[in-house]
């Protein structure tokens, strides 16, 4: 076993996170850079330090999960989603998987409120408890709220000094739960799964398994919405077919 493979095994024992399911070159580069920056020359040295130092571990978790997000990320896709949801004509059961700090599920909540389709709470999950805490707080700085239309900002956020707090009306539409896409059970009976900008980090084999599990989790006619760099080239889509760029619908 090479040193990075050994590190991945030790990391799994410490955290339960299986790094072998993520694309190795990017992960190895990112984590080796971080290790070097912190002054550890080998992975065994680094792992010993990680066991003793919570801040070092938090930093590593941050690096491996990449939590960047935006409200209404890729706005043209959201216009398309709005049209598909309106055509569904019912209040959808929604899962925002790998939701990071809440921008995505809150965007969904605002969209559903706008469409008058907000009956069921949105399930929003992520592997990283620290981002989920930030998501629950729902407080964002100026650069983070740039993607939000002024009209929505006025109605769904409270200005507090130079920060913006999501209003309770939107917050209570979203339920945040810790969930690991690689090992935990998936919720079922969904009409919309939004899983964006995380599948790119997984190996093709893992991506295929997740795709199949998403497909079983969807109701007939349900939609899977993925990130704007994510493609399923050469993968078996099962009963999903493309309905719009980066959106797939399960056969009715
Ligand atoms: C780049 S963010 C995507 C945020 C949001 N979906 C978006 O597109 O703006 C990727 C998120 O995936 C989460 N993640 C990474 N591995 C995961 C796993 N195995 N299960 C669930 N979430 C995971 C990370 O914690 C991070 O918050």
Q: Which residue has the tokens 């559903």?
A: 112
Phi, psi of 229 (to 5 degrees): -115, 5
pLDDT, tens only, 188-200: 999 999 999 999 9
Contact 96/148 with Cβ under 8 angstroms? Answer: no
Among residues 244, 191, 185, 187, the alpha carbon closest in space to that of 220 is found at 191
User: What pLDDT does 184 receive?
Assistant: 98
Is the distance from the beta carbon of residue 198 to the nearest atom of ligand 1 less than 6 Å? yes
Least confident of 60-74, 90-104, 185-199: 60-74
pLDDT category of residue 29 using cuts at 50, 70 and 90: very high
Gap from CA of 66 to ligand 1 centroid (Å)? 7
- Which helix (DSSP H) or strand (DSSP E) does residue 9 occupy? helix 3-15
As a whole number, mean pLDDT of residues 165-193 equals 97
Gap from CA of 38 to ligand 1 centroid (Å)? 24
Count Cβ atoms within 10 A of the Cβ of residue 30 and give its class: 0-12 exposed, 13-18 middle, 19 or more buried: middle
Q: Where are the domains positioned within the chain?
A: 3-65, 75-250
* CATH 3.40.50.150 corresponds to the domain 75-250: yes
pLDDT, tens only, 226-249: 999 888 988 999 999 999 999 999
Q: List active site positions.
A: 30, 126
Residue whose CA lies nearest to ligand 1 atom number 8: 196
Mean pLDDT of the chain: 95
């Amino acid at each position: 076993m090479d040193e990075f493979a050994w590190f991945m095994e030790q990391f799994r024992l410490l955290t339960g996170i299986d790094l072998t399911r993520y694309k190795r070159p990017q992960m190895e580069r990112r984590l080796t850079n971080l290790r070097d920056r912190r002054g550890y020359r080998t992975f065994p040295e680094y792992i010993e330090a990680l066991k003793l130092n919570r801040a070092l571990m938090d930093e590593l978790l941050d690096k491996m999960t990449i939590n960047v997000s935006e409200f209404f990320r890729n706005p043209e896709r959201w216009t398309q989603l709005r049209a598909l949801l309106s055509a569904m004509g019912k209040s959808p059961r929604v899962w925002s998987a790998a939701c990071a700090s809440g921008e995505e599920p809150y965007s969904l909540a605002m969209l559903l409120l706008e469409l008058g389709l907000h009956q069921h709470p949105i399930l929003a999950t992520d592997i990283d408890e620290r981002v989920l805490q930030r998501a629950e707080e729902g407080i964002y700085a100026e650069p983070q709220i740039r993607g939000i239309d002024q009209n929505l900002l006025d109605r769904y956020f409270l200005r507090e000094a130079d920060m913006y707090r999501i209003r309770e009306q939107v917050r209570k539409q979203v339920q945040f739960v810790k969930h690991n896409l690689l090992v935990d059970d998936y919720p079922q009976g969904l009409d919309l799964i939004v899983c964006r900008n995380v599948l790119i980090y997984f190996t093709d084999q893992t991506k295929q398994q997740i795709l199949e599990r998403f497909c079983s989790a969807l109701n007939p006619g349900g939609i899977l919405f993925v990130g704007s760099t994510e493609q399923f080239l050469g993968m078996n889509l099962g009963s999903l077919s493309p309905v719009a760029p980066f959106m797939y619908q399960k056969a009715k």
